[in-house]
Chains A and B, each alone.
Chain A
Amino acid sequence: MLARLDDVARWAQSSSVWPLTMGLACCAIEMMSVTSPEYDIARLGSEVFRSSPRQADLMIVSGRVAQKMGPVVKRLYDQMADPKWVISMGACASSGGIFDNYAIIQGVDTIIPVDVYVPGCPPTPDGLLYAVNLIQQQIREGGRGGILARA
């Protein structure tokens, strides 16, 4: 009985994943394109992008993370309420991308745990939609974020 409830809860969670507006660089523009009528992330449930981390479930780190921005990303991740998921969008967020230098943190997963990595520079909006699909699948299968689980 509780298992059925859990399934329903997870289905509800996966159908309304609200991203945090964590647009950093070029990938942020493709993230904005994903909300445009052509790609329309709203049909996946991400109707609104919340600016406040307290109200968001999904942090899409879209863009290169500079040395100054690292602590800010970490603080925002800590401020998000459980359960929460992270998509590392683009090559720069996943591994430093084409910027193998002093100024860019080589992969946001050195600071925060990441659930889905999206390759590309920048990834097409289709890629980001697939990533959100994978997050939804992870939610439905119970991965890190069941309703009683800590993220």
Chain B
Amino acid sequence: MTLSPTPLEADVVSRSDNAMVLSMGPQHPSTHGVLQIVLEIEGENVVKADPEIGYLHTGIEKTAEGLFWTQAQTVMERMDYLAPSSNALCYALAVEKLLGITDRIPERAQAIRVLAMELTRLASHCVWLGTHGIDLGAISVFFYCFDLRENILDLQEAAGGARMHPNYIRVGGVNGDAPEGFLARLDALIAKFPARMRELRGLLQANPIFQDRTIDIGILTLEEALQWSATGPTLRASGIAYDVRKAFPYSSYETYDFDVPTRTEGDAYARFLVRLDEMEQSMRIVEQARRRLDTPGPVMIDDSKVALPPKETIALSMEALIHHFKIISEGFRVPPGDVYQAIESPRGELAYYLVSNGENRPYRVRTRPPSMYNLQILKGIAPGNLIADLVVMIGSLDPVFGEVDR
């Protein structure tokens, strides 16, 4: 096969003799993934930064068009790989809307979904904080964060079967109740969290070097944030408290008690503080969801056309066997239509625009990738800063390239 690398095309803006065009990436320790930034620099000052994406383009949306509705969820999960359950939840909610079964999802399933969503948000913020710290030289932060993340991945593995990409949230509910010992481990995590959060804050928040490197860096004004379609912590750090969980509640979020941290400065430090506060709010929601798990109940919708029958009934009931066979070999059909379902992922508003033409496979799954829109902001905020500040800005925007490139 011929391998010709993508040629670099740069319109040189600067007129000085010091100008140089440099390719930062796609393999770079601080770009948080496969990102290439075609930089035009004068010494250490960035004159123009043009991010080049597509180095992880996987054709997930096209692959999903060839798989059944439940199978497509497995490829969707691999988009935002730092918070896999958020992709799964958004997709499941969208399909349920098209099927018309949104009000029949059992309460326990909704509580478990909220729990999984907030745990995955915590895990994602742990990776963000760890890599943000390690980019700035604060290597210990990485180890503290990943240690906390291991606890969360243990829980995901216990409930869903895999550390990442558990494929636990399914259309109609979740795939099986919390196993034995799960609640005890969850309680241990809840007990461990406040002390660990204090440690994480103590490591970076008041650190003068960290403050020097992040305060007044990458300032995104409110008008600019709206122009660039920023959502999530990036928008909230610029002043607007738009959180999909509060504005368009889904999966019983309206019954939970939590705040939405907001700042107005719009710099990297503000985004840092917003995400740290969000971690604490997530734990608050986790505690509330934990209390709801004390009451037993079904975790999957009672609809044999959509949900697999319980394993025990397959050997005893002919109908259960037939339903199982039909769902596995043919999938279920979703009535024709289109739907836009948004959730609040750790990066912002993640949404799927699902189109079904009535068959047993998705017709089109368009993802609204929050990371792609957040990453575009780099073009606007980079000029005039140092290359080192660029690293801070990428970290504070928190892109995930599985989502940017899909």
Contacts and interface: CB of A to CB of B under 8 A. Distances in A.
A122 B165 contact: yes
B387 to A, nearest CB: 15
Interface residues of B, number: 42
Contacts, number: 114
Nearest to B52: A68
B62 interface: yes
Interface stretch (A3-11, A29-37, A128-136, A142-150): A29-37
B150 A36 contact: yes
B147 A25 contact: no
Interface in A66-114: 66-72, 74-76, 98-104, 110-111
Contacts of A68: 6, 54-55, 57
Nearest to A98: B75
A-side binding surface: helix, strand, loop or mixed? loop
Contacts of A100: 63
Contacts of A63: 56
B1 A110 contact: yes
A25 B54 CA distance: 13
Given A70-B3, A122-B164, A29 B147 contact: no
A44 interface: no
Contacts of A25: 33, 56, 58, 78, 81, 401-402
B150 A24 contact: no
A127 to B, nearest CB: 11
Given A29-B164, A68-B6, A101 B27 contact: no
A101 B63 CA distance: 7
Interface string B81-106: 11010000000000000000000000
Interface string B135-149: 000000011001101
Contact of B55 (A28, A37, A51, A69): A69
B3 A71 contact: yes
Contact of B402 (A21, A26, A30, A75): A26
Interface of A: 21-26, 28-30, 32-33, 35-38, 49, 51, 63-64, 66-72, 74-76, 98-104, 110-111, 121-122, 124
Given A66-B34, A72-B26, 13 more contacts: A24-B33, A24-B56, A25-B33, A26-B81, A33-B149, A37-B146, A51-B28, A69-B26, A100-B63, A102-B59, A103-B59, A110-B1, A111-B3
The 5 A-B residue pairs with the shortest CB-CB distance in the complex, in nearest-first order: A103-B59, A36-B146, A26-B81, A71-B5, A71-B3
Interface of B: 1, 3-6, 26-29, 33-34, 54-60, 62-63, 74-75, 78, 81-82, 84, 127, 130-131, 142-143, 146-147, 149-150, 153, 163-165, 401-402, 405
9 contacts: A21-B27, A21-B29, A25-B33, A29-B164, A32-B130, A66-B57, A70-B1, A121-B165, A122-B163
